[in-house]
Each structure stands twice: as C-alpha cells, then as structure tokens.
Amino acid sequence: MCSMPAHPSPSPSNRSLAGIGFMLLGTFMFASNDALGKYLISSYSIGQILLVRSVVALLLIAPFIYKNRAAVFRPQRPGMHLLRVICSTAEVALFYAALYHLPLADVMTFYLAGPIYVTALSALILREQVGWRRWLAVMVGFVGVLIALGPSLGTASLGAMLAVGGSFAYALLIISTRSLSGSGGTTLITWQTVAALVFGIFVAPFSWAPVDMTGFAALALLGAVSMLAHVFINQSLKIAEASTVVPFQYTLIVWALVYGVLFFGDQPQASLLMGAGLIVLSGLFIFLREQKRGKISTATVVPDVAPIQPDRPADRR
C-alpha cells in the first residue's frame, strides 16, 4: 500500500512573503480603522467611540478570555498592569482627540515617533545601555518631530500637543508591555480593552450625541476591524522573522496620506513629509540595531497592538 507523500513545509522565502502579506494587510486595516475614526470623531465624542468599540472588541475576544480565564482574572504584577492600562487609555483617547484637530497623516507621523521615544526612555527609566549610534538615531527622530510640527511649533497648536502627548503615552505603553513580557496577549488586550470601556462609560454621558443605526454600525466596525488587524499582524509575526515584516508597518504613513487626500481633502505640507521621512529612517535604524543586539520586541509601530495568543505563566521578577 502506497503512502501519500507528506506536504512539504513552506520554504523560508514563502513564509517571509506570507508574513509580509499579513503585515501589509494588518497595517492597511489599522489605517482604514483610523480613517473611519477620524470620520466618526466629527460626530461622536471620544467616550462614545471608546465605549462602543470596547464592547464589540470584548465580545469578539470573549472565547479567548474564557479559554485563558485563570490567567486573565489573576494577572501577575497587577500594579504594572494598572500602569499599562492607564497608558493605553491615555494613548487611544489622545489619538482620537488629535484626529479631531489634525489631518490623519499628521497624527500618524507623531505616533510613528513612539518607538524612538522608547529608546530614550528605556535608557532613562530602565537603565538600558544605549550606544551612541542609537542615541544619534534618537536625535534624528526628534529633529524629524520638530520639522513635522512645522508652524504648530510656534503657535503651540492644541492638536499637535495632543498628538505628541499621545505618542509619549504610546511609548510608555510599549515599555510597560515589555516589562509584562511574561503575560499572555489575551491578558494584556483584555484589561487594555476593559480600561477603555470603563473610561468610555464615565466620559460618554457628558457629551453624548444621538446615534442612529448607521452610526452605531460604524462605531461597532471600529472594534471589529481593530481586532481583525491585531490577528493579521500577530499572524505575520508568527510565521516570519520580525526583522523581515516589522519595517512594512511604516506603510501606515502612506495609507494615512492616501486617505487624507482622497477622503478629507488634506494637503500634506513639505515639512510634514520631510519630518515623517526622518522619523521613519530613525525608527528603522533603531529597530535594525536592536535586531543585531538580539532585542527585537513585538511591540512595534502600530499603536494599540497586543497579539492574542495563549497565556503563558507570568515571569516573577
């Protein structure tokens, strides 16, 4: 009796191509979600957006929560989890607030600087060793932020300040996520979503706008698309090397520019494009240096990312 030939495992090149495809798709979905958020923020409050988005997200991840309920409801290092969800809630609230005042590409440019701030804050807060090359890249990234601020720098634009503040909150979110590396993705994203829900419950009643079925569907879509984007990016990081796929997350700025021009009539300034270029180059250099030093992190460019995966025992430091 002849046995059926075993299916050959995918070659490294095919896995890399598939990983890049998932990363591009996930990044596109995040950009689409952000564009939808910018459209909705003109009609609904931040509290409403976070409330509906969080309810939908929790419904979608409910099976994962149930499967990992022991780890989810008894997280190790609860104080660090509390700090992390404060940062995550501040990050997403400031993100939507900035979208109300600024073009989509402007906000995304400031948020792309988050991983650059992580390098500087890791040296100052975690006492990590940062070589002169990465410090130079950090300085280039800061120059990029100043250039991107452009006219806002002299007028202290509220939108620009909100975006910069949000990007710092995002950097702190990444650092706190690193310190909770022993916690599973389900635990992280569950409490992150619960915190946003609680914030929405308390804030939404103060600025509630009437919601019709179309508006509710659009608000719910924010949660669904965000979760699906998480899945694609997580799958990308599972099947391919981070050093191969992470740089493609910077296509986020390309989609932000396209959506801004096509749907919101934005006209990107030269200073924004120049600043964004410096920020991207700086971020890529820092990422590649950390790869060389064996310090690749899955907390990467796209804000609000926490891969859903089976929970592991938390580390006890």
Strand extents, DSSP E, 73-210: none
128 — phi, psi (to 5°)? -75, 150
The span from the CA of 37 to the CA of 51, in Å, is 13
Residue 299 has a pLDDT of: 46
- Residue 296 has what pLDDT? 52
Residue 263 confidence (pLDDT): 94
Interval 192-219: pLDDT, tens: 999 999 999 999 999 999 999 999 999 9
Q: What's the CA gap between 185 and 180, in Å, rounded?
A: 10
C-alpha–C-alpha distance, residues 193 and 54, integer Å: 6
| DSSP 8-state symbol, 126 | S
Write down the pLDDT at residue 133.
85
SS3 for 23?
Answer: helix
Q: What are the domain boundaries of the chain? A: 17-292
Query: What number of helices (H) and strands (E) belong to the chain?
Result: 14, 0
User: Which amino acid is residue 163, in one-letter code?
Assistant: A
pLDDT of residue 295: 56
Which pLDDT value is given to residue 156?
Answer: 57
CB 80 within 8 A of CB 188: no
d(CA 142, CA 213): 44
State the Rg of the chain over Cα: 20
Structure confidence at residue 86 (pLDDT): 96
pLDDT digits (tens, 9 = 90+) for 229-251: 888 988 888 888 777 887 888 88
- Those residues of the chain that have pLDDT short of 70 are 1-12, 151-156, 293-317
